């Protein structure tokens, strides 16, 4: 069955056609980076307006690239949440219109379940049971994944998500937007051992994360060496690295050391979860899974344990609609149902990914 996936939970408008939950026939992503860059972060109102502008062309292009018409599609899957409510509503509205006019089933999908599904879109897909690390701008979650849509949350961040920490540190250092990718590139020129930022491993055997301490340590380190005030025409309180003549290390060293601290914790907890739950397989997804240092370290450490690591291609780690189409296909198959068209966006989804306890077809 060919499923049309639609994703608009944050700042990417995406549509894709996926066959049988595993073969990508097309995947189109329209990024809003340039729109949000001047603000240093996603502006929800601008995000929804841009989704409205491009969603129909993006869907049309996805169908054209797959050489299909709407009549060839077996079902439509759309991200229901979590995410920005105004953004989610654009995708949901269009998906409902397509489902209503074509009579095809419409499957509401959890965005995080979608991220996990990215690991099943590869040529040699992941297998169950596995440990899934979903590490993005809004989440840092570890799941014990038993089957499609059957995951138990076994660890989560108690404060900032890893991607959020990347974005905040990049903003603090005036490195530009989006932060994660900039730090990834700049860190290649730095020394990861230059500064020893704290790693929060929390209680013994805990699979939870905490990244606010690392972020604050970077803030404190930078403050020590950076003038705070009205220099360079800034507002009081703003910091400028232009006046950071006293910095004892290069900015590349700061970001490399920060990145290493985040990566150390992510890798250690993921490996610990795999050992605690005695799985043979680890899958990693979400925007931060595109990070080159994290990918290298995971390959080394998961490999050292003799386990299989499933790391989707970077373009499948960041937000896309192929993962939503795949998750929709499996949800339809597992529950065998049809959903009424009156479901709403869920901005903050309860911890469980996949199917809500009452999220059964009517």
Main-chain dihedrals φ then ψ at residue 26, nearest 5 degrees? -165, 155
In this chain, which stretch among 29-37, 159-167, 190-198, 199-207 interacts with ligand KG4, using CB under 6 A? Answer: 159-167
- Does position 27 interact with ligand KG4 (CB under 6 A)? The reply is no
Figure out which of the listed residues 10, 77, 126, 316 binds ligand KG4, where binding follows CB under 6 A: 10
Rule CB under 6 A: say whether 353 interacts with ligand KG4: no
The mark string for 119-158 relative to Zn ion (x by CB under 5 A, - otherwise) is -----------------x----------------------
- Contact flag: residue 290 with ligand KG4 (CB under 6 A): yes
Does residue 7 interact with ligand KG4 by CB under 6 A?
A: no
> Between residues 181 and 302, which has the closer beta carbon with respect to ligand KG4?
181
Q: Which of 21, 105, 163, 354 binds ligand KG4 (CB under 6 A)?
A: 163
Q: Find the binding residues for ligand KG4 in span 84-143 (CB under 6 A).
A: 136-138
Q: Among 91, 125, 106, which residue's Cα sits nearest to residue 21?
A: 125
Q: What whole-number distance in Å separates Cα of residue 53 and Cα of residue 33?
A: 15
Q: Between 11 and 319, whose beta carbon lies closer to Zn ion?
A: 319
Residue 353's binding partner among Zn ion, ligand KG4, none (Cβ under 5 to 8 angstroms by kind) is none
Does 190 contact ligand KG4 by CB under 6 A? no
Q: How far is the CB of 10 from ligand KG4 (least distance, A)?
A: 6
Chosen from ligand KG4, Zn ion, none, partner binding at 289 (C-beta under 5 to 8 Å by type): none
Among residue numbers 307 through 336, which ones bind Zn ion (CB under 5 A)?
319
Q: Report if residue 113 touches Zn ion, rule: CB under 5 A.
A: no
User: Does residue 318 bind ligand KG4 (CB under 6 A)?
Assistant: yes
Nearby residues of 224 by Cβ (< 8 Å), 6 or more positions away? none
Give the shortest CB-332-to-Zn ion separation in angstroms. 21
Token pair for 160: 């900032």
Q: For binding to ligand KG4 (CB under 6 A), which residues are involved?
A: 10, 136-138, 163, 166-167, 178-181, 184, 286-288, 290-291, 318-319
């Amino acid at each position: 069955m060919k499923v049309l996936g639609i994703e608009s939970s944050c700042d990417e408008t995406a549509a894709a056609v996926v066959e049988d939950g595993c073969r990508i026939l097309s995947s189109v992503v329209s990024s809003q980076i340039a729109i949000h860059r001047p603000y240093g972060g996603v502006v929800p109102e601008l995000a929804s307006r841009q989704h409205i502008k491009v969603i129909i062309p993006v869907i049309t292009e996805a169908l054209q690239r797959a050489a299909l018409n709407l009549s060839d599609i077996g079902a439509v899957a759309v991200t229901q949440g979590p995410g920005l409510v105004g953004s989610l509503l654009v995708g949901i509205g269009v998906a409902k219109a397509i489902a209503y006019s074509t009579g095809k089933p419409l499957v509401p999908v959890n965005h995080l379940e979608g991220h996990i599904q990215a690991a099943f879109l590869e040529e040699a897909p992941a297998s169950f049971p596995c440990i899934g690390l979903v590490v993005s701008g809004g989440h840092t979650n570890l799941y014990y994944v038993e089957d499609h849509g059957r995951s138990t949350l076994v660890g989560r961040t108690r404060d900032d998500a890893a991607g959020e920490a990347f974005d905040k540190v990049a903003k603090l250092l005036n490195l530009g937007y989006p932060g994660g990718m900039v730090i990834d590139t700049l860190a290649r020129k730095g020394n990861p051992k230059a500064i020893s930022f704290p790693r929060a491993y929390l209680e013994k055997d805990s699979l939870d994360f905490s990244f606010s301490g690392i972020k604050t340590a970077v803030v404190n380190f930078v403050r020590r060496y950076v003038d705070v005030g009205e220099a360079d025409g800034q507002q009081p309180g703003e910091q400028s690295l232009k006046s950071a003549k006293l910095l004892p290390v290069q900015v590349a060293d700061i970001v490399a050391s920060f990145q290493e601290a985040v990566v150390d914790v992510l890798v250690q907890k993921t490996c610990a979860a795999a050992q605690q739950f005695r799985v043979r397989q680890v899958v990693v997804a979400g925007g931060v899974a595109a990070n080159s240092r994290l990918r290298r370290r995971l390959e080394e450490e998961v490999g050292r344990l003799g386990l299989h690591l499933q790391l989707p291609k970077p373009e499948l780690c960041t937000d896309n609609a192929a993962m939503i189409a795949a998750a929709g296909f499996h949800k339809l198959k597992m529950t065998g149902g049809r959903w009424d068209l009156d479901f709403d966006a869920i901005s903050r989804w309860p911890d469980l990914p996949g199917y809500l306890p009452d999220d059964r077809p009517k």
